[in-house]
């Protein structure tokens, strides 16, 4: 039987989601715990791969298991066994061809910036004290909807076959000393959100114009875009599937 697992993690202590040699990953940590508690080798396939230090408030992965799962019991056992920075929310039985990565129809990320020094969130939000023009940054968000090719915001030497992404939502919101950037799309390129945020911060500082922003996108050249903001302010917050109501 195929199951989806719904979970979240603080990415500070992990070199990203995906298994890699000689580094601790979220996937490896989860697979070891599941295999031990379920008494068989369990391999999971995630909805995507977050980079080193990036967090996830909502992540899904699928795996196959020969038998029924007592969901409340396994959730409780896993949460007792796993490190404190990974939490399990649910197991959902799905059809045999369901795929956590390929069936996802929309992913949503948030990026957090705090504009006044805070001793308690320095690992969870990026501190940027310079004043930003949020109205200009929101105007730049509207420009994103005019395009589908975002090669300029992608890491170079990536193995993707297309740089096209359909963006559904993009906006900045200010709450006191907190700035939150929200963006939803059908897919994201590697480093895309962090590069978009860095470029928009440059706009907010008045260093480039909205016309410059259009020119950057049309250049398809990563070196033309802004810097990549630090990973610790970025969160995957929602993954939507046609057969899981509201991505919950």
Residues labelled as active-site residues: 51
Helices and strands (H and E) in the chain: how many: 5, 9
- CA-closest candidate to residue 11, choices 63, 65, 87: 87
- CA-closest candidate to residue 17, choices 236, 167, 227: 236
Whose tokens are 């404190």? That residue is 84
CA 90 – CA 155 distance, rounded (Å): 33
Q: Are strands 167-175 and 55-64 parallel, antiparallel or unpaired?
A: unpaired
């Amino acid at each position: 039987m195929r199951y989806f697992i719904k979970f979240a993690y603080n990415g500070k202590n992990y070199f990203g989601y995906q298994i890699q040699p000689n580094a601790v990953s979220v996937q490896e940590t989860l697979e070891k715990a599941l295999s031990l508690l379920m008494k068989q080798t369990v391999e999971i396939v995630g909805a995507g791969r977050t980079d080193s230090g990036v967090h996830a408030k909502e992540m899904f992965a699928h795996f196959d298991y020969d038998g029924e799962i007592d969901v409340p019991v396994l959730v409780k056992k896993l949460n007792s066994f796993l490190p404190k920075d990974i939490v399990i929310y649910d197991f959902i039985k799905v059809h045999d061809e369901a795929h956590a990565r390929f069936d996802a129809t929309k992913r949503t990320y948030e990026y957090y910036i705090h504009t006044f020094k805070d001793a308690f969130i320095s690992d969870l939000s990026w501190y940027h004290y310079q004043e930003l023009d949020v109205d200009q940054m929101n105007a730049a968000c509207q420009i994103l909807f005019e395009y589908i090719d975002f090669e300029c915001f992608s890491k170079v030497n990536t193995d993707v076959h297309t740089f096209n992404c359909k963006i559904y939502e993009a906006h900045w919101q200010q709450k006191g000393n907190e700035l939150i950037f929200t963006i939803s799309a059908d897919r994201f390129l590697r480093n895309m959100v962090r590069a978009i945020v860095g470029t928009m911060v440059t706009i907010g500082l008045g260093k480039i114009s909205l016309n410059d922003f259009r020119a950057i996108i049309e250049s398809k050249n990563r070196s033309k875009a802004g810097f990549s903001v630090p990973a610790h302010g970025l969160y995957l917050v929602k993954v939507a599937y046609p057969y899981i109501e509201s991505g919950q």
